[in-house]
Structure 1
Amino acid sequence: MSISHAPPGPSGPDLSPLPKGGLPDQAPTAPDHASLAAELEPIVPASTRRTRVPRWVRRTSGPLLLLALWQLLSSTGVLTPDVLASPGTIARVGRDLVTDGSLPGAMGVSLQRVAVGLVLGTLIGTGLALVSGLFRIGEDLVDASVQMLRTVPFVGLIPLFIIWFGIGETPKIAIITLGVSFPLYLNVYAGIRGVDSQLIEAGESLGLSRWGLVRHVILPGALPGAMTGLRYSLGIAWLALVFAEQINADAGIGFLMVQARDFLRTDVIVVCLIVYAFLGLLADFVVRTLERLLLQWRPTFTGR
């Protein structure tokens, strides 16, 4: 009797040869994702690693290195005291000027002059920019004259101001006012004329009047330019003060510098220059704070 073997069907036993090594002890399991994640270390970009150093440390490292180099050159005799005093000597002289009250009194006089000139220059420059930027006839009457006058060096007008106003406080404040007015005029005028025309059309479609457009669209749009002009104006105000206080002045930081020049005191001159620099830095910090407060509505604002 013959036995016939039926071919294995789909449900038949799997008679394929076993893998080498016999039967497996257990079925393979899925990889443990938790253990794999623990073994992998995140890749940190190089730029992120560099930001671990505080920014204020990086910003102060340059001046500190320059100060250390200055002290080294003074200690080795490369810089003699009659050329430039050492940082230690300047610190001691600055302390003496503060102790006897001469430096605080001079700073008070200089700050008062800058404040008065800045207020007057802001009013004049901003007012002319509004007239010239908002009205076509105002531009025709004002802009050409301002563009002509701003090319005249304001330092060259000091003798003329002395003839006109004498040797008191008026010519000094007039020089500061003149130096402040032109940067504010140019930046406010450019800000007004640079407002997006689509914003003006949108305001008109919403039914805003001309004054409403000026108040809600044009002036806010010109505010960034005004802040830039204010920063430039502050820098020029201190520059104008240096020139104004060295001509027929009887008080102020510039007066201290003139006296130190007559007595060949380079240490006092450097102290006054450092005071000028720190006052300018403080003024710039005030403007940056105003920008953070007034420009937060801008989509591209990045101040913190």
Structure 2
Amino acid sequence: MDVSAKSSKEIDIFFRNRSRPVRRNISWKARDLFLISWLAPLGFVLAWELFCRIGYVNSQVMPAPSAVLATAWRLAADGSLFVHLGYSLLRATAGFVIGGSIGFGLGLLVGFSRLAEAVLDRTIQMIRAIPFLALLPLVIVWFGVEEAGKIFLVSLGVMFPIYINTVLGIRQVDPKLLEVAKVTGLNLRGRITKIILPGAMPSILTGVRYALAVAWLALVIAETIATTKGIGFLAMDAREFLQTNVIVLTIVIYAAIGVAADSLARALERRLLAWHPNYARGERR
């Protein structure tokens, strides 16, 4: 190949590369991503309000967001909304603490011991398959209509996600890390506290996030038991009088609490997993 042919080929490659569009990596700021995440919910609410305003949606079937907000203001003004919300939060918190502690303890036991798995896991999985509604009559027989029955149902629902994810997290710890720990002379307590539990923590916190959602699902069912306080009671009472605005308000409250609980769990992840590259400060998923 002569010099002129080589130069011509290099010039052709140069102009061909210049004609290609330049790909730029867009770096999104955390604030921008936060605002974008709220665009879809905001758009949905605005469309909902618009359809109700123009009469496309029957207000008796689905009240406008403004009507739901007015109902919330009325119930907050007389204090009843905060009373019902407080009872529901107390039940959910008590059930989450009790069920989460039991699930985490059983998860540790089964995760570290094959014998414990053989003794406990099959029974736990059988209980997990029982629907909440099927347990309601038995819970009423055991606890009556007192608070213990409601907390029991929430605890039962919370226990399983944390149990399963704790066992999964322990079993998924990299065996190479455990071999390195043995070679370096790290004792059993050190291996558990410095390798196994930190390695299992992402899975455990995933179980916590899922359990927070299940706690509210269980609470809705639990509050159908004879009661006069709670968000579930507020919804059931509104159903009797066809107050769709109150029913929609309770749904919105459940959604808002779910978002708040998930945000709290994410903050906990970022704090406890700051050492993990996927949870580094400033990273958003």
Per the TM superposition, whether the score is higher than 0.5 is yes
CA distance in 2, matches of 1:256, 1:52: 38
The match for 1:87 among 53, 65, 69 is 65
Is 2:231 aligned against 1:253?
yes
Cα deviation for residue 53 of structure 1 reads 9.1
CA distance in 2, matches of 1:216, 1:278: 36
Relative to the length of structure 1, the TM-score reads 0.82
In structure 2, the residue matched to 1:235 is 213
Cα deviation for residue 300 of structure 1 reads 3.5
Deviations for 1:255-287, whole angstroms, at most 9, x for unmatched residues? 111111111100011111111111111111111
In structure 1, the residue matched to 2:195 is 217
Change (3 A) 1:108 1:60: same
CA distance in 1, matches of 2:31, 2:188: 51
Q: Comparing both structures, which one devotes a greater share of its residues to helix?
A: 2
CA distance in 2, matches of 1:171, 1:124: 17
Q: Secondary structure at the match of 2:60?
A: coil
Alignment of 1:129-168 (within 5 A): 129-168=107-146
User: More relative contact order in 1 or in 2 (CA 8 Å, sep 6+)?
Assistant: 2
CA distance in 1, matches of 2:191, 2:96: 28
Deviations for 1:180-218, whole angstroms, at most 9, x for unmatched residues? 000001100000011000111111111122222112211
CA distance in 2, matches of 1:50, 1:233: 31
Contact persistence 2:60–2:244 (CA under 8 A): yes
Cα deviation for residue 88 of structure 1 reads 1.3
In structure 2, the residue matched to 1:105 is 83
Contact persistence 1:154–1:178 (CA under 8 A): no
Alignment of 1:25-104 (within 5 A): 45=23, 48=26, 54-104=32-82
Relative to the length of structure 2, the TM-score reads 0.87
Change (3 A) 1:64 1:159: same
In structure 2, the residue matched to 1:203 is 181
Q: Secondary structure at the match of 1:79?
A: coil
Deviations for 1:34-62, whole angstroms, at most 9, x for unmatched residues? xxxxxxxxx97465298799223322221
Contact persistence 1:155–1:240 (CA under 8 A): no
Equivalenced residues, count: 262
Q: Which structure has the bigger radius of gyration?
A: 1
Change (3 A) 1:166 1:206: same
Matching residue's letter, 2:36? R
In structure 2, the residue matched to 1:262 is 240
Name stretches of at least 5 consecutive residues in structure 1 with no aligned partner: 1-42
CA distance in 1, matches of 2:259, 2:143: 31
Name stretches of at least 5 consecutive residues in structure 2 with no aligned partner: 1-20
CA distance in 2, matches of 1:161, 1:50: 50
